[in-house]
Amino acid sequence: MLIVDAHEDIAFNALAMQRDYTESVATTRSREGAQAENIATLGLPELLAGGVGIVFGTLFVMPANGTVVPQSPVYRTAEEAHAQAQQQLDVYRRLAEHPQIMLVQTRADLAGVLACWERATPQLGIVVLMEGADPIRAPGEAAEWHADGVRLVGPAWAAGTRYCSGNDVPGPLSSDGRSLMREMSRARLALDLSHMAEASFWEALDLFDGTVIASHANCRALVPGPHENRHLSNAMIKALVERDGVIGVVLYNRFLDSSWTPKRGKDAVGLDLVVRHIDHICQIAGDAHHVAIGSDFDGGFGSEAIPRELDTVADLPRLADALRSHGFAEDDVAAVMGRNWLRKLEALLP
């Protein structure tokens, strides 16, 4: 069963934390030494061992008003955001020089990765997703990013962007944000609705007529509290389903249980809560065709803050086991673990 993970901040960490994702997690952890947080979960050997064939690798640049990772550069202008995102894009291009890594930009690329797994010569395919649209200096530049290999764009991040209010900053799209929706449609870029403020979410759905997803978002109804706007309401989930969207469930303890804190430790949260979020989406949708994985591994947290059954990305097959133990049929397990994202990619990629 091929696994697809729709959100991994690989390039950001390669630059901010000097992580070499062709190496094993054990090598990264040994080099970084004992630490209480941001404990590495990703490495090429573990990805392939876990059956992860496709990931959406992000271009994420940190705004100056964001939560700053000590080693991370920040941007204050569109030019700075653009330059930093281009550096991250170069990270993916260099990774693709490895014989077991391919940038997936076309349906032919996707077919090539899938064929490698069928021949038992596993390969990791990376689809590039821009998280936060500030690197797009003007809406008309969307087509240039598509030409550079980006296939999905999330206009917002928590603190918002020039285009879109974020979950920490309520509000609608800006004038440029409305223009960006039109330009993204023309460029055949998918729209990632994660992190959007609710007003922006609904406005974007009205304006954008292409492929819509939420790469990494959980169910607001299950995580009430001060951070609930980071997640999708039942009405938002229903709207995504009606557009044949797919929602990637985040495997971060705080996004699975709003009462979780680091003091409680990772053992306080199990994969049963991941299944609970997945099942909630399935109940709204009426099927298992609109939910998948968007782990956000190494996305500002590490192994210390993910469910107790998981240590590295190699453990993702345990989620399939948890789904089976909760009564999910085998066909639905395969859909959640990867086939739903593959369906969207086959429709999106040129």
For residue 296, give the nearest of 285, 282, 307, 288 by alpha carbon: 307
Q: What is the model's pLDDT at position 65?
A: 81
Judge contact between 48 and 316, C-beta under 8 A.
no
Grouping H, G, I as helix, E, B as strand and the rest as coil, residue 166 is strand
Which structure tokens are listed for 130? 């821009």
Quote the tokens at residue 271: 């994969």
pTM higher than 0.75:
yes
8 A C-beta contact, residue 156 and residue 145: no
Q: Domain boundaries in the chain?
A: 3-348
The CA angle 88-90-93, to the nearest 5 degrees, is 120
- Which residues, 6 or more positions from 86, have their beta carbon under 8 angstroms from its beta carbon? 135
Q: Which residues of the chain have pLDDT under 50?
A: none
Does 3-348 carry CATH code 3.20.20.140? Answer: yes
